[in-house]
Structure 1
Amino acid sequence: MSTGKTSAAVGTESTVDTPVVSVADLSIEFPGVRAVDGLSFELAPGAALGIVGESGSGKSATALALLGLHHGTGARVSGRITVAGTEVTAATPEQVRRLRGATAAMVFQDPMSALDPYFSVGSQIAEVYRLHTGATKQAARSRAIEVLDHVGIPDAARRAGDFPHQFSGGQRQRALIAMALACEPRLLIADEPTTALDVTVQAQILDLLHQLRAETGMALLLVTHDLGVIAGTVDDVLVMQHGRSVERGPVGRVLAAPEHPYTRDLLAAVPRIDAPRQLSLADRPTTPDPLVRLVDVRQDFPAGHGLLPGRRRTVAAVDGVTLDVRRGETLGVVGESGSGKTTLARMMVRLLRPTGGRVEFDGTDIGQLPDRRLAPYRRDLQMVFQDPISALNPRRTVGESVADPLRAAGIRDERRIRDTVRDWLSRVGLDPDRYDAYPHEFSGGQRQRIGIARALVRSPRLVVCDEPVSALDVSTQAQVIELLAELRAELDLTLVFVAHDLAVVRQVSDRVAVMHHGRLVELADAETVYTDPQQTYTRELIAAVPVLDPALAAERRAERAALRAAG
């Protein structure tokens, strides 16, 4: 890439052998919590290091410290951090400011919150470039278009004028990477850059990071809780637990023969698309009798802004889907963002009234029933949502939130309500004495357990889980899935499991439905879908799933590159 870049940033070293990152005895303390405890590691120029661990392991706190982002937060940082010759812990605010973006840049997990919604994507990239290089407005705009094009944004000159909400999730992440690359940094820090992305988009972003590293020679620090993400992306792995490094080594060795018990536990919890299915949600006797039947179901939404006055246009989010959900089974529903899977799930429990077609529950068409006539069915139709923190009222105790369905059913006996809720908190693995605690006092996995308790407190017959584990660490994912398995067996539940993680869906489902552009493109038992997919789209989804073998990951990356070049 051409640059027009000014002289090297403050404190950079020209010696090739000098580590671009050197961390010695790093400790980070927040009030009452030591997030990082005596951490030391180095990263060579052009190398790639993955830092993995569960939430609370200290991995993100470490990444933020490399750019001095704990300054002014009340955190106590001790030890020594040197990035491209700048000693971050002793640097002046001006030196740290010049380091960020010019010499070292960061890509965050949530691009929507990292981009300003009031400014075009191109102008935000151009502003970063001007800040660090002193370039003219025209040169900065040209640079913004250049890097947007380089990260694969089609029609970059036009899209540079678009705003963040006009980009898809994957495109926003590419835009953040473009912003990070604008000044040709020597170090790119990527903090959970693919957590919220579909499997195919995740593969594209990881391939892009690999490509950019090869082209620019920059070093890469990839922070993630997903061991599958690192297999084909980094050279070495550093595993963190409770703020400490418990294992470090070449990625192939760590994934194939982990030495520390914690690393082995993390690997064991990773859902594998190529491993035999476990006896969990799947492999339980079912009956061909349908509990839910969808017949030619359709859901139309307004097409969006930009239409001429008086002209109405709609988009079919779900377009003529017909399928049954059998009593006692777990039906997995997979597809990319925009495939219609969540819209389909919401129609199953009548949170959405279909535009057309029939939604039958236990033989009754509830699709077009007025809301006032749905009350008899609400007990049997429940949903577990993706984000438990937004599904729980932060101003109400978790006990009161779990009790809401009981009160909505007309139960007024407070002792009975409290006893029932305490029983359900216990059944989902939580301390019933925390009835009066608030959502922020619980971890992500615990909040999801609270959401499950609320969905099940009235003993429903159908539970639809919409991405219930997508934001959780792999070990917490495994715990939540096992909890659902136990409750399904105990309560004779019928489950619909909606997810973009195909490896998770394979482990939990009896049958799998594949959605694409609002249509049902494949439906079969799980083994058939994964071992003998009939549709090209299904094969593409499966091929994009991360694998734990670095050699196989490299082969798949090469195959994807060949397909992109050919098409």
Structure 2
Amino acid sequence: MTERTELLVEVDGLTVDFTAGAGGAEDTVRAVDGLSFALAPGRAIALVGESGSGKSTVAGALLGLHRGTGARVGGSVRVAGTDVGGATDRELRALRGAVAAMVFQDPLSSLDPYYAVGDQIAEVYRVHTDAGRRAARARAVEVLDRVGIPDAVRRARSRPHEFSGGMRQRALIAMALACEPRLLIADEPTTALDVTVQAQILDLLHELRQETGMGLLLVTHDVGVAAESVDEVLVMRHGREVESGPVAEVLATPRDAYTRALLAAVPRVDGPVTRTVPAALSATATGTVPAERSAEVEPLIEAVDLRREFRRGRQTVAAVDGVSLTVAPGETLGIVGESGSGKTTLGRMLVRLLDPSAGRLTYRGTEIGAASEKELRPYRRELQMVFQDPVSSLNPRRSVGESVADPLRTAGVLDENAIHARVRELLERVGLDPDRYDRYPHEFSGGQRQRVGIARALAAEPRLIVCDEPVSALDVTTQAQVVALLAELQRELGLALVFIAHDLAVVRQVSDRVAVMRAGRIVEQGTVAQVYGAPADPYTRQLLAAVPVLDPVAAAARREARAALPEAVPGAAREVAVA
């Protein structure tokens, strides 16, 4: 066993209790329950588990972030020899940033939108050192360059909104590195990032650990991310350790049933294809539009040379540039691509939430691309969309039941009693308690809110639902439940689905055919077996190479292969165009 003096992190019997409620009805919730682990310098450990398992609470306890919040922290936490529980405020300030630094999940909530990124990094550096303004600015440029921000001198003067998501995450890592900490705590640092950007961030963390010898505590719900990044893994559930050990051992031969269930829920890009393309769709499997098509393969919706332009100052930018595709009744078409590829814009045009700038859009044989709102009215109920963020698409001041009822009231064919009964039926159908009709969105988990969004889309009795990143921010088990729900509803109701995502493994799991988008265009489309088994376009191969795998040995080999590619060295060059 490693000697006590050599350990960077020592956690022994950690408990964290939060108090909820008011007015004499307070309840105590134990978020972390008797957790113990250790981390040596230069090593990496991942805390893995679903939302609510206590992972982020543990990460916060290492820096004393629960002090002053009303939380009760028990047990012992030592970081680089500092007793975090018994440290003074001054000692904690010295620990944070200079000895241990944290990278949070959402860079936008961690970066001040009013100040240049370089100035924010420089300020952190000055707080923990005696450096002057000029030296601090130079250090900010140095660390931005180190994390792969191109033209770091110029970009240091940019504000956070001028960076892409991946570049903002790099900027947070640069801020954490400014004072050369011995421990880096990364809390879901790649959630909702494109697979290629995620791979770049994970590769960067690996390189930094090798170069500096710092320890890494990685918090993640993605088991594949853990396989790519760490030496050991600790699986958490309900605040407790389920099992822990070397990452290869835990992922290859998990002892606990929960760990096995967690691994089983992870979508894979290898293994057999579970969905098959119906025979009637074979004529359109490549996405081409034949000159003659029999009645049995008539598409539900068809786009031909669809284009959408946006004005940016004096420039015109084509977000979607000449896209042609078809979706048949009962079929799932997956659309994959990185941020800025035009996926969401295309999806919104398919349900006419956005007007095409050019091209033709046909639904059930009728041209709707140029139709007026009055002409679209008969089709509005049949074309629905489930959005990526149910929080922003649900009114926080209205109950979820009322939000689901909106399409029914708009249709005007049911009285209030019938509407209420139908909403309860829909809530139950998507796996929610109908008695929660009067509850508000903030009272539901992320996966439950996504189910509310699906129920609202179903209320209109649609024929086509466009799902825009419906599982991107969910943990793997909740993600698997939502995906299974959509598949079940599709079988029962004969729905056609367009499933938009940056996660290639999820798209493979749910789709009959797949279209790959880049810079507003479809670079490749075909059946799942064709696109994943024998990708024709280099961009598709690049995307597939970046998908995390559960085998740490294979993950290491893929990391070395990415490092050998010229475009992988700077890592962020591609993101400049997206920013």
Q: Please state which band the TM-score falls in when normalised by the shorter chain.
A: over 0.9
Q: Is the 8 A contact 2:14 2:34 kept in 1?
A: yes
d(CA) in 2 for partners of 1:562, 1:401:
51
Deviation at 1:565, TM superposition (A): 6.9
SS of aligned partner of 1:29: strand
Deviations 1:497-551 (A, max 9, x none): 0000000000110000000000110010011000100000000000000000001
What amino acid maps onto 1:24 in structure 2? D
Deviation at 1:35, TM superposition (A): 0.4
Q: Is the 8 A contact 2:235 2:242 kept in 1?
A: yes
Q: Is the 8 A contact 2:200 2:568 kept in 1?
A: no
Aligned positions of 1:128-527 closer than 5 A: 128-279=124-275, 287=281, 288-303=297-312, 312-411=314-413, 413-527=415-529
Count of residues in Structure 1 that have an aligned counterpart in Structure 2: 544
Q: Is the 8 A contact 1:506 1:526 kept in 2?
A: yes
Unaligned runs of 5+ in 2: 20-27, 282-296, 570-579
What amino acid maps onto 1:157 in structure 2? V
Deviations 1:332-385 (A, max 9, x none): 000000000110000000000011111111111111112233211111000011
Deviations 1:75-116 (A, max 9, x none): 111111111111111111111111110000000001111100
What amino acid maps onto 1:328 in structure 2? G
Aligned positions of 1:113-132 closer than 5 A: 113-132=109-128
SS of aligned partner of 1:50: strand
Unaligned runs of 5+ in 1: 1-14
d(CA) in 2 for partners of 1:361, 1:60:
46
What amino acid maps onto 2:159 in structure 1? F
Q: Is the 8 A contact 2:349 2:356 kept in 1?
A: yes
Deviation at 1:277, TM superposition (A): 2.7
d(CA) in 2 for partners of 1:105, 1:562:
30
Q: Is the 8 A contact 2:277 2:527 kept in 1?
A: no
SS of aligned partner of 1:232: helix
Specify the alignment match of 2:102 in structure 1.
106
d(CA) in 2 for partners of 1:284, 1:244:
46
Q: Is the 8 A contact 2:277 2:513 kept in 1?
A: no
Specify the alignment match of 2:17 in structure 1.
29
Q: Cα 1:286–1:95, aligned 2, differ >3 Å: closer, same or farther? A: farther
d(CA) in 2 for partners of 1:340, 1:16:
53
Q: Is the 8 A contact 1:405 1:454 kept in 2?
A: yes
Q: Cα 1:285–1:38, aligned 2, differ >3 Å: closer, same or farther? A: farther
What amino acid maps onto 1:142 in structure 2? A
SS of aligned partner of 2:565: helix
Q: Cα 1:300–1:16, aligned 2, differ >3 Å: closer, same or farther? A: farther
Deviation at 1:142, TM superposition (A): 0.5
Q: Cα 1:440–1:277, aligned 2, differ >3 Å: closer, same or farther? A: same
Deviation at 1:411, TM superposition (A): 3.5
What amino acid maps onto 1:175 in structure 2? A
SS of aligned partner of 1:259: coil
SS of aligned partner of 1:379: helix
Q: Is the 8 A contact 2:386 2:466 kept in 1?
A: yes
Q: Output the TM-score relative to the length of structure 1.
A: 0.94
Deviation at 1:285, TM superposition (A): 6.4
More divergent stretch after superposition (150-159 vs 436-445): 436-445
Specify the alignment match of 2:81 in structure 1.
85
d(CA) in 1 for partners of 2:48, 2:280:
39
Q: Is the 8 A contact 2:9 2:80 kept in 1?
A: yes
d(CA) in 2 for partners of 1:469, 1:102:
36
What amino acid maps onto 2:393 in structure 1? A
Q: Is the 8 A contact 2:273 2:528 kept in 1?
A: no
d(CA) in 1 for partners of 2:45, 2:278:
42
SS of aligned partner of 1:90: coil
d(CA) in 1 for partners of 2:280, 2:382:
18
What amino acid maps onto 1:62 in structure 2? V
Q: What CA RMSD, in Å, does the superposition of the two structures yield over aligned residues?
A: 1.3
SS of aligned partner of 2:549: coil
d(CA) in 1 for partners of 2:427, 2:154:
53
Deviation at 1:412, TM superposition (A): 5.1
Residue identity over aligned pairs, in percent, reads 69
SS of aligned partner of 2:498: strand
Q: Cα 1:566–1:542, aligned 2, differ >3 Å: closer, same or farther? A: closer
Q: Is the 8 A contact 1:286 1:326 kept in 2?
A: no
2:560 aligned residue (558, 561, 564): 558
Q: Is the 8 A contact 1:334 1:502 kept in 2?
A: yes
d(CA) in 2 for partners of 1:276, 1:474:
19
